[in-house]
Chain A
Amino acid sequence: AQSVTQLDSHVSVSEGTPVLLRCNYSSSYSPSLFWYVQHPNKGLQLLLKYTSAATLVKGINGFEAEFKKSETSFHLTKPSAHMSDAAEYFCVVRAYTGRRALTFGSGTRLQVQP
């Protein structure tokens, strides 16, 4: 079985400062990992995905995530926050078991202060 733990339910940063959203996963198999973003009253938009290729994954809007198997982590980072980054972020895992269901974390709400 797989699971995802997002370590912070809420993160607040100032505009122009770095963003770190933490995610740890548990999976019996080599997982695929994703970060999705949800802006208020909007759908889920894919930021980036890890699928067993490069461990450092670059996504849209300047976001990156690094897959660390030894730490079972997939933290999301961005060097400089923008006001438009304020949203809910979900870490998501899918195990290579033939199952296609995605397991979502509980989400981290990112607040960006001017």
Chain B
Amino acid sequence: EPEVTQTPSHQVTQMGQEVILRCVPISNHLYFYWYRQILGQKVEFLVSFYNNEISEKSEIFDDQFSVERPDGSNFTLKIRSTKLEDSAMYFCASSEVSQVSGYGYTFGSGTRLTVV
């Protein structure tokens, strides 16, 4: 069964440093997403990406965040200057276009980011 792959599984970074979280979505999916889950809290939507541009973003997704699809397979989330409160599990997801199929959202296993 096709999978969404995320790397690394764990990342520790110092406050103020830049981090890049990487994802390989399912190959025939056209929508890509990032979600995060702060420990003990709900999974929250950050951003969706389609046709090489952001299609939707939440209030959380401020100027310190950016997303990119640098080639035909990878989808990245960059956090420019990390803060302690950015510590969370970050999930990448991708989905089909078809509404009938329920969009077929598939999530990766997550990257646990710890900011120290």
Contacts and interface: CB of A to CB of B under 8 A. Distances in A.
Interface of B: 31, 33, 35, 42-45, 48, 55-56, 58, 91, 95, 99-103, 105-110
Contacts of B105: 34, 46, 102
A51 B108 contact: no
Given A42-B109, A49-B102, A100-B95, A105 B42 contact: yes
A104 B43 contact: yes
Contacts of A96: 99
Contact of B43 (A32, A44, A49): A44
A65 to B, nearest CB: 13
B108 A100 contact: no
A51 B56 contact: no
A50 B100 CA distance: 10
Given A32-B102, A100-B48, 18 more contacts: A32-B103, A42-B109, A43-B107, A43-B108, A43-B109, A44-B43, A44-B107, A45-B107, A51-B102, A90-B43, A99-B56, A100-B31, A101-B56, A102-B35, A102-B45, A103-B45, A104-B35, A104-B42
B89 to A, nearest CB: 9
A37 to B, nearest CB: 11
Given A51-B102, A101-B58, A43 B110 contact: yes
Contacts of A94: 103
Interface string A49-78: 111000000000000000000000000000
